[in-house]
Amino acid sequence: MSKRSPAEQLDQAISALFSTSQQLPEPSSNRSIAALVSLVRPLRAMPRPEFKASLKSDLQRRTTMNEATAPAPESSRATQFRRPNFPNIAPYFLVKGAPQFIDFLVSAFEGTERIRVPRPDGSIMHAEVAIGNSVIELGDANEQYPSRPMSTHLYVPDADATYARALEAGATPVYAPTDEHPSGDRWGEAKDPFGNTWYIATRKSAVSAPEGFLTVQPYMHLRNAHDMIPFIEAALGAHATGVHKSPDGIVRHATIEIAGATFEIDEAQGESQPTQSYLHVYVPDTDAVYAQALAAGAKSVQPPYTAPYGDRAAGITDPFGNTWFLATYLGEARP
Amino acid sequence: MAVRRPAQKPAPQGADERLLVEAAQGDPAKFDALYELHFDRIYFFLVSRVRDRATAEDLTSEVFHKALANLPNYEWRGAPFAAWLFRIASNAIVDHYKRSNREQQVDDLEHPLAQPDLSSKDLNFIERHVHFFRLVDQLPEIQRRVVCERFVEERSIREIAQRLSKTEGAIKQLQFRALQTLRAQIGDRHV
């Protein structure tokens, strides 16, 4: 006579079932336990809640972007490969406490949450917050993709007002917006509670931020920043649109364009220590760019694959430690 | 305190479903309602045939994306909306096996269960599972979580105990109670 509790007996039967392929092990002599074990097969056929939520969010994104039934006409080659209503380049923040980070972005920068894909434990697998004409992507950090503080340049209509809101939302002041910044823009700096740095600027000079610039521009501080320019040109087909160097060749600031969208780099120094960013970039041909990037010295994080949400996607790490999520929008769920 | 999820409504019939379809045709954002109603049956239809979770997820995604994209062309002819989804799903299975060059498996599609015109017996089989999944959704939250971790994610008792900060004995008890509740709700019937 077994002295094990019914819960123990049940678990032993379930464990035995898991360790076999498909057939039930010896039927339990206890009829009530056997009746419970017979539920295992249908339970294993249940969908993952995370998948159901993720697919729903993806479908919502397609409908809100009007992609599914009436794709917006794409007028230029530069936009054909990117997801409609999505910038070519978006910073991807992986933080500890993604729900709180979303709250911060909404409060500080008047962001609009447009997608949130939760995991069953309440953490966030993927979310998107629209700010101005741009999008910030984010999720909770994990072992594969740990949290990394990043720097971001925000072009906003009123730097002072945005700076004040950021502090109210919990950011730490570095310096208040000033007209004395070398860029010629009104420019301030704050650090959010997650360790990220925000350069909050309002355009004042025609050359600093031409019309059409993204509200959100990733900003990388790099050691030997001058080496990034030939790498990124060879790897991602980018080109530097404005490079300001000191007489000894140090990159003080450079704007790099990839397929019509830009990010900024400079030499890491002083308070601006080297950053390692996550970026999501839409390119005309993920497979070709992935191969090109590896040939230029990048390392593979994820070989190209067709993601269920309709992108051809891949991942690489550049020699500076930045992770690039490459994507080409396929225009439909499956090729 | 245990949190209970609201019970999902049964699939609407006839005129009600037609209204949902027409609403989604007018505003794709309303496709959500059709997705919620039919997700479980389409997923189960697929997983019971391909017998592989990752493939079933890929195909389920494909089915709903195609359904959304083709919704403007859908014409209401009195048949349940699910029949249209099952047809897309059946085509997705065939395409999947063609892509995989699994000729033997394509032959398997001759089986009546793989055909889009499902018999009432087949439909009953699917609906019993959909009903069962909804019973799981209505379990107290902690029991539902244990069930998902154990049977869907296939985690060990030890792993679940660590994730939920409980003892292994407590997890086994929760598992036992959850299955007892489900068994009591469906009675002596097979799922």
Nearest to B151 by CA among B62, B61, B47: B47
Same domain, B91 and B146: no
- Give the residue from chain A lying closest to B44, CA to CA: A45
Contact A60 B32 (CB under 8 A): yes
Q: Which long-range contacts (CB under 8 A, 24 or more apart) does B163-171 make?
A: B163/A121, B169/A7, B171/B146
Which residue among A51, A52, A333 places its CB closest to the CB of B66? A333
Closest CB to A11 among B175, B190, B191: B175
Same domain, B91 and B153: no
Residues B152 and B79 in one domain: no
B142 and B88 inside one domain? no
Dihedral sign (CA A209, A210, A216, A221): negative
Is residue B6's pLDDT more than 50? no
Given an 8 Å threshold on Cβ–Cβ distance, is A8 in contact with B69? no
Answer with the one of B62, B84, B117 that is the final residue of a domain: B117
What residue in A sits closest to B132 (Cα-Cα)? A42
The partner residue sitting opposite A69, judged by closest CB among B61, B72, B188, is B72
- CB A182: neighbour CB atoms within 10 A? 9
User: Rounded to a whole number, what is the distance in Å from the CA of B18 to chain A's nearest CA?
Assistant: 19
| Domain's final residue, options B117, B150, B171 | B117
Residue with tokens 């600093």: A208
Q: Phi/psi at A308 (nearest 5 deg)?
A: -60, -20
Listing DSSP states for A192-233 in one string gives: -TTS-EEEEEE--STTTS-TT--SEEEEEEETTGGGHHHHHH
User: What does chain A come to in residues?
Assistant: 335
| CATH superfamily of domain region A49-329 | 2,3-Dihydroxybiphenyl 1,2-Dioxygenase, domain 1 (3.10.180.10)
Q: Which of B37, B58, B68, B88 to mutate to test the interface with A (most CBs of A within 10 A)?
A: B68
Q: Assign B40 a pLDDT band (cuts: 50, 70, 90).
A: very high
Nearest chain B residue to A11, by CA: B172
Stated length of chain B: 191
Q: Is B94 on the interface with A (CB under 8 A)?
A: no
Whether B19 and B105 share a structural domain: yes
DSSP per-residue string spanning A280-332? EEE-S-HHHHHHHHHHTT-EEEEEEEE-TTSEEEEEEE-TTS-EEEEEEE-SS
Is B45 near chain A, with CB under 8 Å? no
Q: Give the distance from residue B172's alpha carbon to the nearest chain A alpha carbon, in angstroms.
A: 6
- Which residues lie closer than 8 Å to A240 by C-beta, 6 or more apart? A229, A233, A254, A255, A256, A257
- Radius of gyration over every alpha carbon of chain A, rounded to an integer in angstroms: 24
What is Dmax (Cα atoms) for chain B?
Answer: 55
* Res A71 pLDDT > 90: no
pLDDT at position B3: 36
Check residue B151 and report its DSSP letter.
Answer: I
CATH 3.10.180.10 occupies which residues in chain A? 49-329
Report the pLDDT averaged over residues A271-286.
87
Q: Is residue B54 part of a domain?
A: yes
Residue B73 domain flag = yes
Beta strand pairing call for A216-222 and A261-267: parallel
Which tokens is B71 given?
């919704």
pLDDT of A196: 95
Q: Which of A61-75, A83-97, B16-30 has the lowest mean pLDDT?
A: A61-75
Q: Please, are residues B39 and A52 in contact by the beta-carbon 8 Å criterion?
A: yes
Domain of residue B174, CATH code: 1.10.10.10
How far apart CA B27 and CA B22 sit, in angstroms, is 9
- In a shared domain, residues B18 and B79: yes
- A119 vs chain B: nearest CA distance in angstroms? 12
pLDDT of residue B101: 60
Phi, psi of B115 (to 5 degrees): -85, 150
Q: Which of A118-122, A127-131, A276-280, B133-137 has the lowest mean pLDDT?
A: A118-122
Distance CA A77, CA B93 (A): 35
Same structural domain for residues B25 and B111? yes
Question: In this complex, do B60 and A47 lie within 8 Å of one another by their Cβ atoms?
Answer: yes
Domain co-membership, B57 together with B106: yes
Tens-place pLDDT, residues B61-99:
999 999 998 898 888 888 889 999 999 999 888 888 877
- Both tokens of A34, joined, read 């056997």
| Model confidence pLDDT, tens digit, residues A201-220 | 987 754 444 445 678 989 99
* Best mutation target, B179, B182, B185, B189, to test chain A (most A CBs within 10 A): B179
Show the domain range for B113.
14-117
Residue with tokens 């521009």: A217
Same domain, B144 and B92: no
Q: Which two tokens mark A294?
A: 């590896």
CA angle A32, A33, A35 (to 5 degrees): 65
What pLDDT was estimated at residue A206? 45
Strongest mean pLDDT among A277-281, A291-295, A327-331: A277-281
> Within a 10 A sphere around the Cβ of B50, how many other Cβ atoms?
20
Distances (CA, A) of A206 to A158, A183, A185, A210, A213: 16, 11, 10, 6, 12
On whether residue B127 sits in a domain, the answer given is: no
Q: Is residue B126 part of a domain?
A: no
Strands A216-222 and A124-131, sheet pairing: unpaired
User: Is B20 found in the same domain as B112?
Assistant: yes
Q: Report how many domains make up chain B.
A: 2
Radius of gyration of chain B (CA): 19
Sheet containing A323-329: which strands, arranged edge to edge?
A112-118, A124-131, A134-140, A89-95, A278-282, A323-329, A311-317, A299-306
Beta-bridge partner residues of A135: A130
Residue A82, pLDDT above cutoff 90: no
Average pLDDT over residues A187-192: 94
Question: Does residue B3 lie in a domain region?
Answer: no
Q: B183 and B148, same structural domain?
A: yes
Tell me if A225 sits within 8 A of A266, measured CB to CB: yes
Distance CA A200, CA A206 (A): 17
Closest CA to B151 of A48, A30, A121, A35: A48
Asked if the model's pLDDT at residue A42 lies above 90, the reply is yes
- Chain B residues with CB under 8 Å of A56 CB are 32, 35-36, 39
Interface of A with B (CB under 8 A): 6-8, 10-11, 14, 18, 35-36, 38-49, 51-52, 55-56, 58-60, 62-64, 66, 68-69, 120-121, 308-310, 332-334
Asked if B173's CB is within 8 angstroms of A7's CB, the reply is: yes
Q: How far apart are the C-alpha atoms of B59 and A334, rounded to whole Å?
A: 10
CATH no. for residue B90?
Answer: 1.10.1740.10
Residue B13's pLDDT is 61
Is the pTM above the cut of 0.80?
Answer: no
Q: What is the 3-state secondary structure (H, E, C) of A48-82?
A: CHHHHHHHHHHHHHHHHCCCCCCCCCCCCHHHHCC
Q: What is the pLDDT of residue A333?
A: 41
Instruction: Classify residue B100: in a domain, yes or no.
Output: yes
Nearest to B183 among A36, A62, A63 (CB): A36
